[in-house]
Amino acid sequence: MRKMELQDRESVKCMLCDLDETQLLYVKDSFNIVRCKQCGLIYVNPRPGEGLLAEIYRQEYHQAYQGKDFVKLHEGEFKKRLFEERIKIIQKYKKGGRILDVGCSYGYFLEVARGRGWDTYGIELSQYAADYAREKMGLNVFSGDVFSVDYHDYFDVCTLWHVLEHMPTPIKSLQRIHRLLKKDGMIVIETPNINCSKAKKQKESWGYLRLPEHLYYYTSATIKQLLSKCGFEIIHTTSADFGSGATSIADRMGIKGTREVLLRHYRYLRWLRAILAWSRKISRQDEFVVICALKVERDSLRENDK
Ligand SMILES: [Zn+2]
């Protein structure tokens, strides 16, 4: 990336309370991560400008995955197992219908949902990933972001798996999702939890402080404020992880690149799965938060509210 593009920054106020009074928490990769003194929201400020963000997503997917089908295949296997667990949570509240996965990537979650009888749709910003989901997985995927899809009262469930923290205008995006959902529709969000035990211990070296892609760092409390502002009422909150227990043990032992090794051999090495299962039992499993919230009608909601 060119140096000039990295200098593309913009200052923002707290999106929840519109104040500009913050405390500096960390400096990472030349970005400041701050906490709002009023509401506790943690975010990057100043943050990458629009031009830089577009460039990040254009480059990231091409460099990270093109030509690496082997890693992708195994990452897919690994993620589908996790999504089997996640869809069980969804089905406690919604038995079926139309489901929209925002930021669906290669379509692994939608493939799992389709297998359980859901009518599946996806939205994906990366052209490469969207093409893959359409052509290789046979899924119905729109290119772009939530503003590229124009439906009203259409979906029963809308999912965001590790997408919210990337969104530069979360309130506008969630209000858009509110419009896309049917009356009593449900939004499901999974995002890193900056209040987790690992983040507190590792501070600025916590793996999910990922700059410049992750713009917001949520806790259960700040997600609750955000959702209520956008017309949603939380009905389920749970802690989760990414099967990261084994990788964190290996990290402590100083073994590098464990995640990649795990992904490559996940299918074949039964003992690795056993370690993973055991380590997840003993680990805190609070690195992510999974939240389900129902759409509530509110006359005061306007899509243009910031
Ligand atoms: Zn605030």
CATH number (domain holding residue 172): 3.40.50.150
Q: Does 146 reside within a domain?
A: yes
Structure tokens at 75: 């990452």
Neighbours of ion ligand 1 (CB under 5 A): 14, 16-17, 36, 38-39, 41
Cβ(43)–Cβ(235) below 8 Å: no
Tally of domains in the chain: 1
Beta bridge partners of 188: 159, 292
Q: Does 75 reside within a domain?
A: yes
Distance 203 CA to ligand 1 centre (A): 21
Instruction: Write down the pTM of the prediction.
Output: 0.83
Distance 37 CA to ligand 1 centre (A): 7
User: 68: how many CB neighbours lie within 10 A of its CB?
Assistant: 11
Distance 34 CA to ligand 1 centre (A): 11
Cβ(222)–Cβ(214) below 8 Å: no
Structural domain of residue 193, as residue ranges? 64-244+283-304
Q: What is the DSSP string of 149-212?
A: ---SS-EEEEEEES-GGG-SSHHHHHHHHHHHEEEEEEEEEEEEBTTSHHHHHHGGG-TT--TT
Q: Does 150 reside within a domain?
A: yes
Distance 71 CA to ligand 1 centre (A): 40
Cα gap 227→234, rounded to integer Å: 8
Q: What is the pLDDT along the chain (306 residues), one digit of tens a residue?
A: 555 566 789 999 999 999 999 999 999 999 999 999 999 999 999 999 988 888 877 765 545 555 555 556 667 788 888 899 999 999 999 999 999 999 999 999 999 999 999 999 999 998 888 999 999 999 999 999 999 999 999 999 999 999 999 999 999 999 999 999 999 999 999 999 999 999 999 999 999 999 989 999 999 999 999 999 999 999 999 998 765 444 444 444 444 455 666 666 655 566 766 666 666 555 667 899 999 999 998 654 555 444
